[in-house]
Chains A and B, each alone.
Chain A
Amino acid sequence: MITQLLAVSQPVPAGPVVQWGWLTITVANLVVILAMVVVFVLALVLPFPSDREDEDR
């Protein structure tokens, strides 16, 4: 029980942040946003898998 209480009472640190002028953002959030942009670009350029039936329509 004490271990559980300690786990609850010790918050996880927010982690490092980066700052450009007025903008402050955690590295974790920046990584997520950049990953979303990468997925978006890949979705535009990667060919969609298709089989023979799909090609007929």
Chain B
Amino acid sequence: MSRAEVSPRATSEASSAGAGRTTWTAAVTRWVDGLVPKGQWLPDRQPVYVASWIYVFGVACLSSLVVIIVSGLVLTLGGVTWWHTSSFGHFVNSVHLWSVELFFATMVIHMWGKFFMASWRGNRGMTWATGALAFFGSLGTAFTGYLIQTNFDSQWISTQAKDGLNAAGIGAYFNVMNLGQMVLWHVSLLPLVVGGIVTVHVVLVRRRGVAPPIDATDPTADAGEKVAT
């Protein structure tokens, strides 16, 4: 008996790939399958020019984001003042802070590398744009993180930012001196926004392939055009 005959995965693939099925789940499956070229969700081989340290910073940034999310989830157990009264809370808070420092450092170096490589070439304009959006969304998320430290630093930052935001004409839409509002923005609203943008960015990278150096041949030049939308 072959493995395909008994594999639930094989049965599932056979049924979901059935042409003409009109259920919404089948439509979603086809859409997800067509987002990136076959085998590119988690590829184990890359073009030879990817063997360079400058190509490391994107995934380093993504790894930092994972540490940020995990340490942030632990911090939610103790709340925003936990780190003032607990050595473990202080440790987790420091892990959260330093993973954010690494996140921004690697993100900016990633951005320098992609800028000087003109990585928007090869129909990768949206990849570049979503990366820029992720950067600006992360700035807002980090800013609200500084606002919820519950110390004099956060008081200083919030009162200064309040004046700046009012001068920019957007201070009426939210209140940076409202701790409860800023906590929810930091742990719920903005992480969802940044997480969504980063997800789209990563899917686009998988869809178009990593950008080649300017003097290199792009083996995936036409791959993006062949992908169903």
Contacts and interface: CB of A to CB of B under 8 A. Distances in A.
B59 to A, nearest CB: 13
A42 B53 contact: yes
Interface in B4-63: 45, 48, 51-54, 56-57
A17 B87 CA distance: 31
Contacts of A39: 105, 109
A57 B48 contact: yes
Interface string A6-27: 0111011000000000000000
A54 to B, nearest CB: 6
Contact of B53 (A7, A48, A57): A48
A43 B105 contact: no
A11 B52 contact: no
A32 B102 CA distance: 11
Contacts of B152: 9, 11
A50 B53 CA distance: 11
Nearest to B85: A4
B72 to A, nearest CB: 21
Given A8-B151, A46-B53, A40 B84 contact: no
A36 interface: yes
A25 to B, nearest CB: 16
B126 to A, nearest CB: 25
Contacts of B163: none
B207 to A, nearest CB: 22
Nearest to B57: A43
B225 interface: no
- Among A32, A48, A50: residue with most chain B CB under 10 A: A48
Contacts of A57: 45, 48
Contact of A32 (B51, B57, B105, B113): B105
Contacts of A36: 105, 108-109
A32 B52 CA distance: 23
Interface centre among B45, B53, B108 (most CB of A within 10 A): B53
A2 interface: no
10 contacts: A7-B84, A11-B153, A32-B105, A39-B105, A43-B52, A43-B54, A44-B52, A44-B54, A50-B51, A57-B45
Given A7-B84, A39-B105, 6 more contacts: A4-B85, A32-B101, A40-B54, A43-B53, A46-B53, A50-B51
